[in-house]
């Protein structure tokens, strides 16, 4: 069974995380959840409110990481999914995670990023010259690191699949699964 990494941390978004987890398993891939440490992480739920200018965040489910970033052997995996939410704001500073992301990009293996996940790709230096999408408030992160930002539900640029938010999960996972099955 081929393995796929799913990257999480505290404040990873529930739908950005659980939809890919189960969608990838549905096609008989083993999903290995990875975090800064092998422990339980607290996911969050994002929603909108007509009186707020920004999303509202509330506690969601908990999810255990199967492996710590430092223990990832990227050559053992067919692809990687970087969940959104606020977790990427601090995950992008983890050298072991960045090493793994660069490996996948260098080898042309499928790399998926939703919402704030683009912050990890930007910090890893793998989006320069690429066309990507992300949640609008992360547009700056993409463009300042040399990417061409477009506002679409999903963008596929070679082995890289990016999406805006969990609202686009249907298109996001459809395109990622196409690359995994090649």
Phi then psi for residue 73, to 5 deg, are: -110, 95
Active site residue 159: no
Among residues 42, 49, 116, 167, the one annotated as catalytic is 116
Query: What are the residues whose beta carbons fall under 8 Å from the beta carbon of 100, sequence distance 6 or more?
Result: 5, 69, 72, 74, 80
Burial string for 64-84 (b: 16+ CB within 10 Å, else e) reads ebeebbeebebeebbbbbbbb
Distance from C-alpha of 84 to C-alpha of 72, rounded to nearest angstrom = 20
The catalytic residues are 116
């Amino acid at each position: 069974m081929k393995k796929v990494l799913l990257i999480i941390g505290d404040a990873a978004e529930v739908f950005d995380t659980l939809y890919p987890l189960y969608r990838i398993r549905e096609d008989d891939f083993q999903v290995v959840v990875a975090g800064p440490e092998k422990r339980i992480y607290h996911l969050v739920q994002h929603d909108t409110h007509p009186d707020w200018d920004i999303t509202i965040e509330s506690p969601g489910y908990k999810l255990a990481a199967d492996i710590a970033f430092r223990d990832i052997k990227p050559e053992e995996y067919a692809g990687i999914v970087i969940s959104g939410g606020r977790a990427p704001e601090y995950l992008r500073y983890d050298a072991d995670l960045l090493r793994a992301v660069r490996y996948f990009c260098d080898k042309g293996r499928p790399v998926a990023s939703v919402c704030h996940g683009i912050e990890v790709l930007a910090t890893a230096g793998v989006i320069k010259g690429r066309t990507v999408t992300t949640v609008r408030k992360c547009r700056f992160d993409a463009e300042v690191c040399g990417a061409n930002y477009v506002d679409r539900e999903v963008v596929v640029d070679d082995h890289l699949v990016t999406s805006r938010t969990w609202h686009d999960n249907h298109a996001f996972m459809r395109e990622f699964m196409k690359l995994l099955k090649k």
